[in-house]
Amino acid sequence: MSVDAAVETKTVFGSEVPQPPQHGAAGGVMRRLNFGTGLVGGIGLATIAGWITAIITPSSASSDTFAPMEPTYVYLAVLLGWFIGFMLGMGAFVGPLRWVVGRDITHSDAEYMAGKDLGRKRYWKYTTDHKVVGIQYLIVAMLVLGFAGLLAMLIRTELGMTWTSLFTPSFYNSMIGTHGIAMIIGMIVIISGPLGNFIVPMMIGARDMAFPRLNALSLWLFVSAVPMLVSSMFMGGIQDGWSVYYPLAAQAPPGMLGYQLTIIVFAVSTAVASVNLMTTILTMRAKGMTWSRTPIFVYGIFAASVMGLYAFPFFQYAQILGLSDRVFNTSFFDPLNGGSVWLYENLFWLLGHPEVYVILIPSMAVALELMPVFLRKPLFSFNFAVAGIVGVVALSGLVWAHHMYMTGWAPAANYPFMLSTELISIPVGFLVLVAIGTFWRGTAWTRLPLMAVYAVVFNKMIGGVTGVYLSDVPADQYFHGSMFVVAHFHYMLMGAGLFGAMAGIAFFFPKMTGRFLDERIGSIGLWTAFIGFQITFMSMFVAGLQGQPRRVLNFDDQFNLSNWISTIGAYVIGIGMLIFLSAIITSWRSGVLASSNPWGSKSLEWQTATPVPLENFPVLPVVTERPYDYGVPDPYEAELDSTDQDLMEKAGTK
């Protein structure tokens, strides 16, 4: 490295790159910041903000005396203090502050922030390497889904014990709402977060994301939102479901603030992540990777990013306006003062239904991505699959009002929205048909990832068919608000989404961790959860046809049997997911070591070394063929390397 009086240069991939002067050790203040300092900063500032706010704000009893105010405002101050303190403690604002004071980040600083030579400590820091961010997303998303699953088990326990009540109606309602929003958030992130960050840059032949620091920002914004949601349960929780319709939401306890700020922060996280993924895919694909040579998984992540970018702000706006009504006494949603509950419902569902496809499309894309690998044949009609994804994106913003058939809003619009909802089943059906066509006459190499794909396709077909019923206005008038609806959207979000995530994790596990996921334990967990899933939600279909309403603590005795069956099935799901989690943990720690390309895949992410180097590719690749040309004779195609065969046998029988 040559040094000038004011300018330095550093050799990066054979080129001399001008650098700003290095001040102190690489990383600067970031060397002292980590998750621990984030917790200290968040808890400390939350405590200070709550204490000061309680002192200086008049109580509701008298405007002339200074006394502790209503819990709503203290809780708001605590939440804001937590958010600002945590992000400060993590170092989220260090980059912008260095730019303001004229100390730009050097290449050495960037390498430190990417986690170079930090070992496991990099997973506890504000790290910019897309692979570290992917692992961080995976862990946090699993924790959120675990929390949501725990609430689901408590809900099913209450509904299964038909002879007594375990929880108060208020706490039961809080569990219902918190479970719903936690599961939605977790399912949105579980594929796009871990696999979108870890795999997509390598899959397109890039060395990193387009905006590495924004990548880290999206992750830690998500992390900061999780305690807000959990804390809301200790402040009265969410009392009217995850949709929190007004005017009931205006009567909710202070816990509503936790929900509102969770959505506001999570929407920012989603927007930042979406822009980053879209820019990366549009501008950083390898030379020769035309759109016809771009893997279908990349299309799925790009589509989910587009839908998230335009749809999530509607949900965010709804919560900002609701927060304003609660804190500043505005009346956006207060009909008595000129507001409109229809405004909230439209804003909510403008996100609420595209969100289904934000979850579904990445899951189906994972399934379609790995099917050619395990069937050793090209994807059946790649263009048909792309058309299905494009069709879903195009129509996803035109179906929201089918959730409002029974509300009384714009009855004349019901049938046009029925038409648009039924139309979107066509491009979604394209994806299922491509999957079935790829299976047709294929020689299946039935490993754990492909078994999970079987589950995805099966559940997706049931969820899709029952969704057609609910899109029909006369049928929806009967099914509305029943357990039939609950069963339907669980088949779509969990049945297709979660099992798709299991397929993706099992498939990419060797690349992400360098070890095989234990096939035996993982398969037991997968099929146990699948069987429990069918028991749980098939019984809910029956209960819904009988007329059992959802979100109700006490119900008629005629529904006892179906609730007992659903509760038993829910416990089976829980056992299966714990078994699958144990496979992840044990394999991560001591699983059989994997080679760089154990599945014999043609896509670029498998052409890198394992563990993946910091910069992914020493020389950027050039793409000359489609990623699914498995019909072309290749010595590697005829017989996998014997070493890989031995390793996979050990992974399946350990």
Residue 590 has what pLDDT?
92
Question: Identity (one letter) of the amino acid at 510?
Answer: P
Q: How far apart are CA 10 and CA 382, in angstroms?
A: 43
Task: Give the per-residue SS3 of 316-378.
Answer: HHHHHHHHHHHHHCCCCCCHHHCCCHHHHHHHHHHHHCHHHHHHHHHHHHHHHHHHHHHHCCC
Residue 631 has what pLDDT?
67
Q: Give the confidence band of 68 by pLDDT, cuts at 50, 70, 90.
A: very low
pLDDT in tens, 581-633: 999 999 999 999 999 999 999 999 999 999 999 999 989 999 988 888 886 55
Q: How far apart are CA 582 and CA 577, in angstroms?
A: 9
SS3 16: strand
> Where does CATH 1.20.210.10 sit in the chain?
128-590
Give 503-528 as a DSSP string.
HHHHHHHHHHHSB---HHHHHHHHHH
Q: Give the confidence band of 362 by pLDDT, cuts at 50, 70, 90.
A: very high
Average pLDDT over residues 536-563: 92
Q: How far apart are CA 462 and CA 481, in angstroms?
A: 19
57-79 as b/e: b if 16+ CB within 10 A: beeeeeeeeeeebebbbbbbbbb
Does the structure show a pLDDT above 90 at 187? yes
Structure tokens at 324: 């304003």
What CATH number does the domain located at 128-590 have?
A: 1.20.210.10
SS3 452: helix
Average pLDDT over residues 58-81: 69
Q: How far apart are CA 347 and CA 313, in angstroms?
A: 9
Q: Give the confidence band of 652 by pLDDT, cuts at 50, 70, 90.
A: low
Query: Which of 398, 281, 401, 399 is CA-nearest to residue 345?
Result: 401
Q: Give the confidence band of 9 by pLDDT, cuts at 50, 70, 90.
A: low
Cβ neighbours of 314 (radius 10 Å): 19
